[in-house]
Amino acid sequence: MASSRVTVIGASGLVGQALTRVLESHRYEVRGTYASRPAEGRTRLDLTDAAQVRDYFVRVQPQAVFLTAALTHVDYCEGHPEEAFRINAEGAKSVATEAARYGSKLVFYSTDYVFDGSDGPYDEGAQPSPVSVYGKSKLEAEKTVQTILKDALILRTTVVFGWDRSSKNFAMQVYHELQAGKPMRVPEDQFGNPTLVDYLAEASVRLFQQGTHGVVNVVGKDLLSRADFGKALAKVFGLDPALVQPVATSALQQRAQRPLRGGLKTEKLSQLLGIQAMPLEEALKRLRRQWRADV
């Protein structure tokens, strides 16, 4: 791949930070943006301001763009649909429009929330049917990106986790709650593929370097409930798994409907990369090493 100057939009987030590390290890010149979490060497970029997005591309003219930034708080999106669509859908449209103008390759991150969760896990050809504002906004973004850029790479992922004290990803929630000795109610009827963020970033860069386009699921190999994942995390951190209390999703009275039987299939990913998706056991071993190195 000839591209050398790349932009990570959302570089201060969990996925953006991991992507930056991997891209820099491959000798790419990485420019990063942030929305609300300033970081050294990063540029503030408001995705809802099309003129600001245009000006950024004029200045940087990246050969490739990884769009990780999004409004991902599912219940917040449900109560603020206009904001969710402005950031997730209109923001993606602005980026795709400028990427097309400058001939930039676009890698866009999506979610299994584009499905209703009635019969997952889903492959790339399954018919989307989102049940939440968040899922609808991401599906709208997918469609817009594919309309504007025929060679865009859309990566669907789910239950992304990693060791990052400033992050609120599920692994960190489990760590902080259980370390404080607090019980944590976790859904036993929501299923997905836990995906280590480092693995997501590594697979993303490999697919980008191969010139892959279209939709690809990039998730961990194993499908399990959030409650079972929470207990597995507790063991990794040497905490009491009994503090993870399995409950029905309905008991949590969450504002937005969740795709219960979600998750994504990995056969296409394995075929493209020539290796199987990362098993949870391996992902947890890597997480444990990161945790031990930081405490």
pLDDT digits (tens, 9 = 90+) for 104-120: 999 999 999 999 999 99
Inter-helix orientation angle 226-236/280-294, to 10°: 40
Q: What fold is seen in the domain 5-161+195-221+262-278?
A: Rossmann fold (3.40.50)
- 282's tokens: 């391996």
CA distances from 199 to 14, 22, 205, 283 (A): 12, 10, 10, 8
CB 21 within 8 A of CB 32: no
Mean pLDDT for back-to-back runs of 10 residues, the chain (295 residues): 81 97 98 90 96 98 98 98 99 99 98 98 99 99 99 99 95 98 98 99 98 99 99 98 98 97 98 97 97 92
pTM of this structure: 0.97
**For position 37, what pLDDT does the model report?**
85
| Bridge pairing between strands 224-225 and 191-192 | antiparallel
Q: What stretch of H or E contains 209?
A: helix 197-209
What pLDDT is recorded for position 103?
Answer: 98
- Residue 62: its pLDDT value, please? 98
290 Cβ contact partners less than 8 Å away, ≥ 6 residues apart: 162, 163
What pLDDT was estimated at residue 36? 87
Q: Closest by alpha carbon to 238, among 275, 190, 291? A: 291
Residue 282 has φ and ψ, to the nearest 5°, of: -70, -40
Q: Sketch the domain layout of the chain as residue ranges.
A: 5-161+195-221+262-278
* Tens digits of residue pLDDT in 21-42: 999 999 999 999 999 888 888 9
Give the model confidence (pLDDT) of 250-284 as tens digits: 999 999 999 999 999 999 999 999 999 999 999 99
